[in-house]
Amino acid sequence: MKKILDFTVKENRRLNADNFLLVLHSIELPEIQAGQFVNVRVDHSPSTFLRRPISVHDVDKKQGLLYLLVKIAGKGTEKLSTLKPGEQLNIILPLGNCFSQPEQGRCLLVGGGVGIAPLLHLSKELSDKGLHPVVLIGTRTVKDIILKEEYEKYATVYYTTEDGSYGEKGYPTQHTILTEQFDHIFCCGPEPMMKAVARYAYSKHIDCEVSLENTMACGIGACLCCVNDTKEGHKCVCTDGPVFNINDLKWQI
């Protein structure tokens, strides 16, 4: 059930030049599943008219904490990066669907850029079910690696960097871990990377889900700006997604 809640900022931690982590509190925090997102109202930003969709990074239901990993991409997210502890943030949540939850099998989670955000919550959920996942993260350089220790709490983590400064040099689909057997792949990040992962999964007959990052304004399927073409027709990413099985998309893979 969707709610509109005012959260209190507990922490705003700058991770590097581009990314920050918001830790928010509400005593009414609803159940949120890995892959879902929230729509955040940006106050005191005259040029920001629409709410900003942000993936759920992590949840601590017992303490009423919501974690949002945010990349500064414009005036709205730049304003959010200046929030201070004690300030309020109005949020609509939870929105969208979620990643599926396999009961067995080996799971590979692939993320690039800020697309790594929903993979922490998913790693935790899979770990709680006894399915210790493998997480593969691609970045440009070692300076872009963030929250490494958090992912390592729930998964075995590998990295690729484009310049070879950490992990294996190249892109995630070039990592040697892909020579091993996996039963499920979950992916989020830049579309070219997701399509490359989808091609790999399709060639190996591996079940694969991707989280799309189409531009979303309303979050409830009213504005139609996030429509994506699927094999079952046009669907709103904010309501029918953001998670889709690659077999349902019209990607040339």
Strands 107-112 and 184-188: parallel
Distance CA 123, CA 212 (A): 18
Residue 51, both tokens: 């709410």
Q: How far is CA 17 from the centre of its chain?
A: 19
CA–CA separation, 188 and 191 (whole Å): 8
Distances (CA, A) of 73 to 52, 78, 100, 114: 11, 7, 29, 11
CB 20 within 8 A of CB 12: yes
> In sequence order, what are the residues at sequence separation of 6 or more whose Cβ sits closer than 8 angstroms to the Cβ of residue 191?
212, 213
Binding residues: 52-55, 76-77, 218, 223, 226, 238
Annotated binding site for [2Fe-2S] cluster, which residues? 218, 223, 226, 238
Nearby residues of 96 by Cβ (< 8 Å), 6 or more positions away:
35, 36, 37, 219, 237, 238, 239, 241, 242, 243
CB 21 within 8 A of CB 11: yes
Which positions ≥6 away from 16 have C-beta within 8 Å? 143, 144, 146
Q: Which residues are annotated as a binding site for FAD?
A: 52-55, 76-77
In single-letter form, the type of residue at position 79 comes to K
